[in-house]
Amino acid sequence: MKIITDERCAGYSREGHPERPARITTAVERLKTQTELQLAWVAPGGVNDAQILRAHSPEFLARLQIPHDFDADTPFFENIGGFARASVGAALQALKAARGGENTFSLMRPPGHHATRDRAMGFCYLNNIAISVLEALATGSKRVAVFDFDVHHGNGTEAILLNRPGVEFFSIHQFPCYPGTGAANAGRNCFNYPVAPGVPRETYRATLARAFDDLKHFRPDLVAVSAGFDAYARDPLADGTLLAEDFHWLGRELRALEIPFFSALEGGYSHDLPDLIFAYLKGVEGK
């Protein structure tokens, strides 16, 4: 299994912000000290403007250079455009590895699934998954599915991929919750599975299983996974009820599809994040 990461993802922070460098550094430490999985550590690849501009506007790319906060959740940081590009480059590297038949996980920040074509929001600046999906479609993939199990609706991914031929988006998330979208399906290709706050764990998992069934029905040739771990029962940002073994199950279900897939980290804010990622990766590896 290839883990795509580098130190740039820990290069920016604001005190007290839940989306913090320790999310990644503690996960890296956890994965480097375990002995159950054989991991290869790979640096992010590059990304050019043309790849980004399939998903974002030129005006928005320019806005990333302007030193003003984007909103209360989403601060401006010196060189945030560079950090966001590194995260996109990691997702693209993961795409490449998946197409080469390897299991792979992009362990980077910032996350991306709330970033829309022309707006940074919800701790997200560039939409890593949407850019990767559009790259896949531009380079030979015919049917790409996005599976987004972050507890928050992937509004940015939905907005960017809405009604695009060759792609279907499946998001399982708490509703009502930030960012307030995702109560119903959108367009011809975006399927939303809202879960009420605090539902029994079995209900949450049954909803994930239903989304998986619908994804299989689409018969994708590639699956891009927005892997957020904030539906965890002890996550401070939402009221999900999943446990580590549920993320393990998610990894196994994805493996069982027998379709190339890659995952990019989205949310996950509890101190147990490293264990949740490890459980997921074990599932992906069939262990």
Tell me which stretch binds Zn ion (CB under 5 A): 59-67, 71-79, 162-170, 222-230.
Answer: 222-230
Per the CB < 8 A criterion, the answer to whether 125 and 84 are in contact is yes
CB of 135 or CB of 158, closer to Zn ion: 158
**Does 150 participate in binding Zn ion (rule CB under 5 A)?**
yes
Alpha helices in 182-272 (DSSP H): 201-218, 244-256
**Does 154 participate in binding Zn ion (rule CB under 5 A)?**
no
Which residue is catalytic, options 17, 56, 68, 114? 114
CB of 182 or CB of 260, closer to Zn ion: 182
The single-letter DSSP state of residue 173 is E
**Does 228 participate in binding Zn ion (rule CB under 5 A)?**
yes
Tell me which stretch binds Zn ion (CB under 5 A): 48-56, 98-106, 206-214, 260-268.
Answer: 260-268
Distance between CA atoms of residues 247 and 241, nearest Å: 11
Distances (CA, A) of 227 to 107, 140, 152: 10, 24, 11
CB of 237 to Zn ion, least distance (A): 7
Site for Zn ion in 60-89 (CB under 5 A): none
Per the CB < 8 A criterion, the answer to whether 151 and 235 are in contact is yes
**Does 152 participate in binding Zn ion (rule CB under 5 A)?**
yes
Q: In what order do the strands lie in the sheet with 104-106?
A: 40-42, 2-4, 104-106, 261-265, 222-227, 144-148, 167-174, 190-195
CB of 107 or CB of 137, closer to Zn ion: 107
**Does 267 participate in binding Zn ion (rule CB under 5 A)?**
yes
**Does 274 participate in binding Zn ion (rule CB under 5 A)?**
no
Among 25, 13, 11, CA closest to 265: 25
CB of 82 to Zn ion, least distance (A): 23
Q: How many residues touch Zn ion (CB under 5 A)?
A: 5
Determine whether 114 is an active site residue: yes
Task: Using the structure block, give the residue that is written with the tokens 């994965």.
Answer: 31
**Does 56 participate in binding Zn ion (rule CB under 5 A)?**
no
CB of 228 or CB of 274, closer to Zn ion: 228
**For residue 44, is the peptide bond before it cis, meaning its omega torsion is within 30 degrees of 0?**
no
Give contact residues for Zn ion (rule: CB under 5 A). Answer: 150, 152, 228, 230, 267
* Residues annotated as catalytic (active site), given as ranges: 114
